[in-house]
């Protein structure tokens, strides 16, 4: 994997690392992936690892409480593989302390791939919700092993971006040994694979529910936890670790490229080897965008023309925009500009916005005024798709535009709506 730099602040408020530029779209803190079949993942959560040659691996994403995940596996050699609903993945179930019961679901996703090169292969995994939906999920990675040739261990990292922080779900990393011969350990490390210490304590977990585990993992009982795959039941025991990092309180404004947590999977004292399963439990959301001032979240109802008292703005006339339209609009001081459009289920819509005279924020809302996506663009910036979203159901949708920091902002803008 590429070299990464780790930064650690007090009380684990920030455990973020730097990674090289990604081959996907990362704009305004959002990660978007376009799959070969035309499927799009918007505002996705990113994972990275590398895998040894000659082996076959399976990545499965299990939705929690009805979440419908979409997964993309992006090797540095070969093509992107994506999946939305997998018949094979629908057979998975399980129980983990941080999720409770995980029931089988036809909405689960899975990709099986092989490293057919003669060397280790970097792999990026991106998980999002169908249609840009938000929720909790468990990512499972099978086919892994810690061997005597692995040195410090197997690397994984996770981007704890604003959508992960907004979800408010702690990031829990599990390692379950597939045989009694492996006593796995998971550690947060820096770019040199050196352990990170917090208040003199190493941030790692060897055995959950013991003093050999950092943070909440020290009080988390894994015995009785399991993952049921179509092939076998994988049962956790007292030697398996879980490393739990709270996301509440992390800074969602940190640049995307600085928002990685780096894990190293090995064994206790490097003294045992064997196959294992890794599982990450977390949530993803679409953070609310502030319009009107810097202190309150958007509270707008375009259907009624009411934007509420908290934003400090009124909705102006709601105009109509259609696919492939490029319109000139005006932001009036004390108002928010608003557009409505009709869309069908599975449409993929993107918006290009060029504000002149103000820094713009834009919010995409459904008929029930749920915020589905949001982003910002600087004064005068042009030519960049600012929103990209897959429509979950047919109906009327709204775009609301304002200045995130200035209630009295005014200016003109160009807005383009593209639908496919």
Least confident of 255-269, 293-307, 333-347, 368-382: 293-307
CA–CA distance, 7 with 13 (Å, rounded to integer): 10
CA dihedral 76, 151, 277, 214 (to 10 degrees): -110
DSSP 8-state secondary structure symbol assigned to residue 66? T
For position 14, what pLDDT does the model report? 33
User: Which has more pLDDT, 151 or 263?
Assistant: 263
- Each as own residue / partner, the long-range contacts of residues 3-6 (CB below 8 Å, 24 or more positions apart, any chain) are 3/191, 4/157, 4/191, 4/260, 4/262, 5/190, 5/191, 6/188, 6/189, 6/190, 6/191, 6/196, 6/262
Q: Give the mean pLDDT of 78-92.
A: 94
- Please list the residues that pair with 350 across neighbouring strands: 388, 418
- 363 touches 289 (CB < 8 A): yes
Residue 226 pLDDT more than 80?
yes
- Please list the residues that pair with 388 across neighbouring strands: 350
Residue 28 pLDDT more than 80?
no
Cβ neighbour number for residue 344 with a 10 Å cutoff: 10
pLDDT digits (tens, 9 = 90+) for 157-205: 999 987 898 788 999 999 999 988 899 999 999 878 889 998 888 999 9
Q: Give the mean pLDDT of 328-350.
A: 89
CA–CA distance, 333 with 360 (Å, rounded to integer): 13
Q: Which of 340, 341, 342, 350 is nearest to 387 (CA)?
A: 350
Residue 117 pLDDT more than 60?
yes
- 204 touches 172 (CB < 8 A): no
Confidence of residue 26 (pLDDT cuts 50, 70, 90): very low
Cβ neighbour number for residue 302 with a 10 Å cutoff: 22
Q: Which residue ranges form the domains of the chain, and what is each CATH number?
A: 6-284 (no CATH), 314-419 (2.60.120.380)
pLDDT digits (tens, 9 = 90+) for 41-60: 877 999 999 999 999 999 99
Q: What percent of the chain has pLDDT over 70?
A: 85
For position 362, what pLDDT does the model report? 86
Q: Which of 417, 393, 412, 289 is nearest to 341 (CA)?
A: 417
CA–CA distance, 45 with 133 (Å, rounded to integer): 12
Least confident of 72-86, 239-253, 320-334: 239-253
Look at the block and give the residue holding tokens 């920030």: 14
CA–CA distance, 279 with 158 (Å, rounded to integer): 12
CA–CA distance, 358 with 203 (Å, rounded to integer): 44
């Amino acid at each position: 994997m590429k070299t990464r730099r780790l930064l650690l602040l007090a009380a684990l408020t920030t455990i973020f690392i730097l990674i090289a530029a990604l081959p996907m779209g990362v704009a305004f803190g959002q990660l978007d992936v376009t799959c070969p079949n035309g499927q799009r993942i918007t505002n996705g959560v990113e994972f990275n690892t590398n895998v040894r040659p000659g082996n076959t691996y399976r990545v499965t994403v299990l939705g929690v409480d009805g979440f419908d995940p979409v997964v993309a596996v992006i090797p540095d050699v070969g093509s992107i593989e994506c999946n939305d609903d997998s018949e094979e993945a629908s057979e998975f179930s399980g129980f983990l302390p941080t999720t409770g019961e995980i029931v089988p679901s036809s909405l689960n996703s899975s990709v099986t791939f092989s490293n057919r090169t003669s060397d280790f292969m970097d792999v990026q995994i991106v998980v999002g919700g169908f249609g840009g939906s938000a929720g909790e999920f468990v990512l499972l990675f099978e086919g892994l092993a810690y061997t005597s040739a692995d040195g410090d261990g197997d690397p994984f990292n996770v981007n704890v971006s604003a959508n992960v922080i907004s979800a408010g779900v702690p990031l829990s990393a599990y390692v379950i040994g597939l045989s009694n011969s492996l006593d796995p350990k998971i550690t947060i490390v820096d770019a040199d694979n050196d352990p990170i210490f917090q208040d003199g304590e190493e941030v790692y977990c060897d055995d959950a529910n013991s003093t050999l585990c950092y943070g909440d993992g020290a009080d988390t009982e894994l015995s009785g936890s399991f993952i049921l795959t179509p092939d076998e039941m994988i049962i956790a025991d007292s030697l398996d670790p879980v490393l739990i990092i709270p996301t509440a309180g992390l800074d969602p404004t940190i640049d995307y490229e600085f928002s990685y947590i780096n894990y190293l999977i090995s064994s206790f004292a490097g003294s045992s080897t064997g196959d294992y399963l890794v599982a990450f439990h977390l949530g993803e959301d679409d953070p609310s965008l502030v319009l009107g001032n810097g202190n309150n979240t958007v509270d707008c109802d375009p259907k009624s023309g009411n934007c509420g008292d908290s934003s400090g703005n009124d909705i102006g006339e709601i105009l109509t925009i259609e696919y492939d339209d490029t319109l000139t609009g005006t932001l009036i001081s004390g108002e928010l500009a608003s557009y409505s459009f009709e869309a069908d289920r599975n449409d993929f819509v993107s918006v290009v916005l060029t504000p002149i005279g103000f820094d713009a924020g834009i919010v995409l809302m459904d008929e029930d005024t749920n915020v589905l996506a949001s982003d910002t663009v600087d004064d005068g910036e042009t030519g960049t798709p600012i929103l990209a979203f897959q429509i979950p159901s047919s109906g009327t949708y709204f775009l609301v535009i304002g200045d995130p920091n200035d209630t009295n902002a005014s200016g003109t803008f160009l807005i383009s709506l593209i639908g496919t």
